[in-house]
Amino acid sequence: MEQDIAEATVRTSARDRLLDAADELFSRDGIALTSVDQVLHHAHVAPGTLYAHFSGKDGLIAAALRRRLDRWERIWQEAVDAAATPAEKLLALFDAVSTYRCLYTPGRGCAFLATSTELPDLDHPARAVITAESTLLLTRLNQLAETVTTDDPAALAGDVLLVYDGAMAGLLRGRTPDPLGHGRTLASRLIQNAIEAHQDRV
């Protein structure tokens, strides 16, 4: 067993092991409480390897968050593509979160908002990734809402985003058995109301 673990560690690149370790530890314990030494120990790499790839902890934080964003964007787009109707495509946001959490390390609620809270410095390299995630959410939700209704799609997108943010906070609070499912149901009602309101005006 130990030999199998060692061989698997060798096959995974040092850079990937660092990103995996950072993603797991930052998500579980938070950025401030996770030391560079803990990441190095978890990834089974030497300090020089981290600094060669990421120039330090700040660079590692930004790179781990960027990889999370790339994975999230891909999974969300796949969920949108698989949905059959405009309404379902808008709701695919919630389905994509569930898929992401099954495939990869789940964040403490929204990993991007959590990182933003821990890193208020606007000059931190991770801030650009946090901004990119917000832009992705707003842009894609607005585009999808436009296929559902022409009556103020931006308002509908904003409502869905508010429900999504609440569902992600619910994951962290841990009081609702299925905050993502509940959020999807609430968002579905908002979308149906927008569709019916548009039909009444036609």
CATH of residue 155: 1.10.357.10
Q: Going by C-beta distance under 8 Å and a sequence separation of 6 or more, which residues neighbour residue 59?
A: 53, 125
Rounded Cα distance between 122 and 28, Å, is 24
| Global pTM exceeds 0.75 | yes
The number of folded domains in the chain is 1
Rounded Cα distance between 14 and 49, Å, is 7
Is residue 163 a contact partner of residue 190, using CB atoms and an 8 Å limit?
Answer: yes
Q: Which domain holds residue 69?
A: 2-201
Rounded Cα distance between 198 and 60, Å, is 47
- Taking the chain (202 residues) in runs of 10, the rounded mean pLDDT of each run is 47 90 94 96 96 96 97 98 97 97 87 93 96 97 95 95 95 85 96 82 62
**Any idea which residue has 């548009």 for tokens?**
198
